[in-house]
Amino acid sequence: MSTIPFGTKRTRRWLPWASIAVPTIGWLVFGLFPSVSTVFFSFTEYSGFPGTPLHFCGLCNYHNAFNSSWTDFSTSVTVTLKYVAGVTILQITIGLGLALLLRHRRRGFGFYRALIFMPQVFSVTIVGVLFSLVFDPQNGPAEPMYHGLFGSTSAFLGDQTWALWLVIMINVWMFAGYTMLVYIAALRRIPPELYEAASLDGAGRFRTFRHITWPLLANATTVNVFLTAMGCVGEFALIRVLTDGHYGTKTLGMYMFDTAFGVNPSLGYGSMLAVAQFLITLVIGSVLLFFLRRREVTL
């Protein structure tokens, strides 16, 4: 521990503490405390209406999840897993594809990259309204295209079979630019000599990618997969705008939001769902890190 050079002998002891006091207290009150007390509230029955009592009930919410509310609960878990898997796989593939396409510094490429990154800065409200228009079953441009291709009609975001996949695609549309930029930054760090050596050895495009590019992108892949997957386990803002959790798009986060802030609020059960979401994040996160980092080591 080094000593602080500022202040007098007397103030030196508490000066660093004073420096961190306000942000730490703020973080404790509005960050850590709510976060930890989610676990506490998950053991209670509490509607959240002012004046109603908070009733401690042990594992009742957890019990309900596996009994009376099992259908809703298991469905939302399945939807969440599909959502996470769908977004992660698509976003990594598309992000990598775009990065390979736009990796070099050529004329116009900065503009293309900026356009692809652009949706990121929009609020989910804007993106939600935008795609509600595109997929509007009566007047949207997707309808005639779909009709031309398949000869039938679809309700798109109001269609049980399509809604979740459309939401996944819209999520990817919004955030693929980020994945792309992370990959471009990693691609730029690959030494060009490796490619020269590979082309001298007569390796084709595919083999160069398979044996040089992809393994050397392992770090970036870890970051991208981890950030994407972790970022979308709890995601529901976009779903709230696009489908409000109907038509098979009720993820755990959406279910939590509905339960806590919907018509018949139950903050206790909602907190349990937040805890469940946390556990899923934890499991997916550790599994991903374990496999992805092992892959890096075996290079």
Q: Report the site for other proteins in 60-89 (rule: CB under 8 A).
A: none
Binding of other proteins by 260 (CB under 8 A): yes
Encoded tokens for 162: 């399509």
C-beta closer to other proteins: residue 198 or 220: 220
Place of tokens 């760090």: 189
Q: What is the 3-state secondary structure (H, E, C) of the chain?
A: CCCCCCCCHHHHCCHHHHHHHHHHHHHHHHHHHHHHHHHHHCCEECCCCCCCCCEECCCHHHHHHHCCCHHHHHHHHHHHHHHHHHHHHHHHHHHHHHHHHCCCCCCCHHHHHHHHHHHHHCCHHHHHHHHHHHCCCCCCCHHHHHHHHHCCCCCHHHCCCCHHHHHHHHHHHHHHHHHHHHHHHHHHCCCHHHHHHHHHCCCCHHHHHHHHHHHHCHHHHHHHHHHHHHHHHCCCHHHHHHCCCCCCCCCHHHHHHHHHHCCCCCHHHHHHHHHHHHHHHHHHHHHHHHHHHHHHHCC
Applying CB under 8 A, the span of 58-66, 108-116, 192-200, 201-209 interacting with other proteins comes to 108-116
Q: Does 141 bind other proteins (CB under 8 A)?
A: yes
Span 193-212, contacts to other proteins by CB under 8 A = none
Span interacting with other proteins, options 21-29, 85-93, 151-159, 198-206, rule CB under 8 A: 21-29
- Among positions 43, 117, 165, 195, the unique one binding other proteins when judged by CB under 8 A: 117
Amino acid at residue number 244: D
Contact residue for other proteins among 61, 76, 88, 277 (CB under 8 A): 277
Among 51, 67, 105, 108, binds other proteins (CB under 8 A): 108
Q: Per CB under 8 A, which of residues 23..62 are in contact with other proteins?
A: 23-27, 29-41, 46, 48, 50
Residue 166 as a binder of other proteins (CB under 8 A): the answer is: no
Report the residue number, 197 or 279, with the smaller CB distance to other proteins. 279
| Segment near other proteins (CB under 8 A); pick from 63-71, 106-114, 150-158, 204-212 | 106-114
Q: What's the closest the beta carbon of residue 165 comes to other proteins, in angstroms?
A: 16
149 binds other proteins (CB under 8 A): no
Q: Is 261 in the site for other proteins (CB under 8 A)?
A: yes
Mask of contacts with other proteins, 219-258, x by CB under 8 A? xx-xx--xx------x-xx--xx-----------x--xx-
